[in-house]
Structure 1
Amino acid sequence: MRAFTFKQGTSSWNSGTLLHWYVEVDWDDPRHDALAQLVTDSNQALLNAGFPITPVEHSWLHITIDQISSPAHLIGQAERDKLVAEVSRRFASIAPFTVVIGSVLSYASEVAA
């Protein structure tokens, strides 16, 4: 496994884009209020420190689980459908769990925790 290199708008995308598995947060669920507060407080701290960021709405935030390292254009729709079906089948048996988030890191392309 090698580290993922984030690509910015000025970087070459000749290698193609990659497919990612994301978890979206249900912001209406009060169990996620602490996460919402962490994001809000972190954004404000970065703004106060002079970081040139434009915070996005919480609805745009996600948790990246994994990525498929083959370029997306090489993975056809039939194979994508099989991937989604298999991952859905496997995730269905996973019970809800708690995740600890912290150590906010600021990069030119993102703010990550």
Structure 2
Amino acid sequence: MTQTANGPRLRIKLRLEYDSPLILGPGKAELLARIDRLGSISAAAREMGMSYKRAWTLVEEMNVAFAEPVIDSARGGPGGGGARVTPTGQSVLRHYRALEALLREAGAEDLHALNALLRPQGST
């Protein structure tokens, strides 16, 4: 948790476990959102300042962990490639954002209390 102009900023990471654990956090959620907006894994990676290889690894982790793929992609080439967020991916992103909002709203008092207990920036 970090301090913003409007108070503490919440960044949640969820460890979802079944057969293989998946960490779902702000980076993967943002990657899904950008792929949805841009229609491209490489364009989303560029916007986020990450390598295509890293973005593809994150997509593969999510596609393997969920019962249905979250991203459907086509290889590039003369006709161009592309990627789209599947209905499962849309649901994952929607539920993740809903949990963020729930924790931010219902936990606001506790978040502010924890933030007040932090050492001021610059002090050691």
Task: Provide TM-score, normalisation by structure 2.
Answer: 0.23
Answer 1 or 2: which has greater helix percent: 2
- TM-score in terms of structure 1 length: 0.25
The structure whose RCO (Cα within 8 Å, separation 6+) is larger is 1
